[in-house]
Amino acid sequence: MVSQPLFTTLAPTIEWRAGDLLLLDQTRLPHEMVVENVADVAAVWRAIRELRVRGAPAIGVAAAYGLCIAMRDSTALPIAQFRAELERHANWLETARPTAVNLSWGLRRMLRHARATDAKDAATLYEALVDEAMRIHAEDRALCEGIGEHGMPLIAQDCGVLTHCNAGALATTGLGTATAPIYAAHRAGVAFRVYADETRPLLQGARLTAFELQQAGVDVTLIMDSAAASIMSQGLIDLVIVGTDRVAANGDFANKIGTLGLAIAANHYGIPFYVACPSSTLDLETPAGARIEIEERDAEEVTHLAGQRIAPDGMKARNPAFDVTPHALVTGFITELGIVRAPFERSLRSLFATEGSAA
């Protein structure tokens, strides 16, 4: 269905090449295509924190490989010391960003694999870690394809689809999450249009989503965040699909700031509102959205634009990176196993409790 390459000009978001971790620096897009060879675990932490690698699924893959980078030069250590260092690096990497559950999910999975591996020496355990990170990487691509397959029927001929931030190929190592149904429908020859919110303050919609959709030949129009409700009121939007960084057990979910307003507007105009959610982003240990920690970023991201101050000197600013949308505003979750509908607390747990989620 989606086996052919979509892009001819985009470098892979993440690549593991003979012990080296290569990351596409997303802060330089769309003007420059820069691939960074990440030298050490501190550089991986900074790449996640500074959004050079971003998007919940991509962060999970990068973190798994980050542990491999952390332990790459420690294979001569005694096995007990190697294991202790592995735990220390995992705990530190987890501090890079608090909201996206894939970060802790990927690190916990790596640690579980290390504990279950009966290795007699550090070199053997290191190879087992690399194998597991590569499995996480391959699974991410497969999850994206599954979301594309199950979400594609939602996109009808001549419909308008609204998306927010970047839950695309650049946020994963595959087709993306929210964009996977879009790419699948585009490949199937469905004629439709996409409206991409610019996504202030860091403009992931303008810099990344609009860019990658344009590169793939999708009919995409960039709009201001504040124009979304007006565009809905004109009857131009038939469907909203967004991604997510964490889904609580009851179906409340965290996504890029501005998602809550879209959900409220979509509910007002009777527009279906879907969330693309791979199993790696489901957190059954968190009962409700009120328990999700929301990352607060530097105020300068709000007071400045492209390095230029746009607010008065000394102006205070709030910069929450995410908001939480209550499950009552969600039509369904598009997962790699199918579309999940309310009651979410029962349906999500039933489908994913044994499927390797963050539970």
Residue with tokens 């087992």: 128
Instruction: Give per-residue pLDDT as tens, 188-224.
Output: 999 999 999 999 999 999 999 999 999 999 999 999 9
User: What does the pLDDT read at residue 100?
Assistant: 80
Q: Is position 56 annotated in a ligand binding site?
A: yes
Residue 354 has pLDDT above 80, yes or no: no
Instruction: Give per-residue pLDDT as tens, 80-94.
Output: 999 999 999 999 999
* Backbone angles phi and psi of 22, in degrees to 5: -110, 130
Q: How many CB atoms lie within 10 A of CB 3?
A: 6
Across 227-240, average pLDDT: 98
Band of pLDDT at residue 244, cut at 50, 70 and 90: very high
Distance CA 33, CA 11 (A): 7
* Backbone angles phi and psi of 100, in degrees to 5: -70, 115
Which phi-psi region, left, alpha or beta, contains residue 323 (left: φ > 0; alpha: ψ -120 to 50)?
beta
Contact 50, 68 (CB under 8 A): no
Band of pLDDT at residue 306, cut at 50, 70 and 90: confident
Residue 245 annotated among the catalytic residues of the structure? yes
Q: Is position 256 annotated in a ligand binding site?
A: yes
Distance CA 354, CA 334 (A): 18
Instruction: Give per-residue pLDDT as tens, 14-40.
Output: 999 989 999 999 999 999 999 999 989
Band of pLDDT at residue 152, cut at 50, 70 and 90: very high
Band of pLDDT at residue 9, cut at 50, 70 and 90: low
Q: Is position 255 annotated in a ligand binding site?
A: yes
User: What does the pLDDT read at residue 356?
Assistant: 44
User: What does the pLDDT read at residue 6?
Assistant: 61
Beta strands in the chain (DSSP E): 14-17, 20-24, 35-38, 160-163, 193-197, 220-223, 239-242, 246-248, 253-256, 273-276, 282-283, 304-305, 308-309, 322-325, 332-335, 338-340
Domains of the chain: 14-145 (1.20.120.420), 150-352 (3.40.50.10470)
Q: Is position 120 annotated in a ligand binding site?
A: no
Instruction: Give per-residue pLDDT as tens, 97-145.
Output: 988 889 999 999 999 999 999 999 999 999 999 999 999 999 999 999 9
Distance CA 241, CA 247 (A): 15
Share of the chain above pLDDT 90, in %: 91
Residue 5 has pLDDT above 50, yes or no: no
140, 197, 245, 323: which is the annotated catalytic residue? Answer: 245
Q: Is position 54 annotated in a ligand binding site?
A: yes
Band of pLDDT at residue 11, cut at 50, 70 and 90: confident
Instruction: Give per-residue pLDDT as tens, 250-303.
Output: 999 999 999 999 999 999 999 999 999 999 999 999 999 999 999 999 999 999
User: What does the pLDDT read at residue 351?
Assistant: 87
Q: Is position 189 annotated in a ligand binding site?
A: no
Distance CA 38, CA 70 (A): 11
Residue 355 has pLDDT above 80, yes or no: no
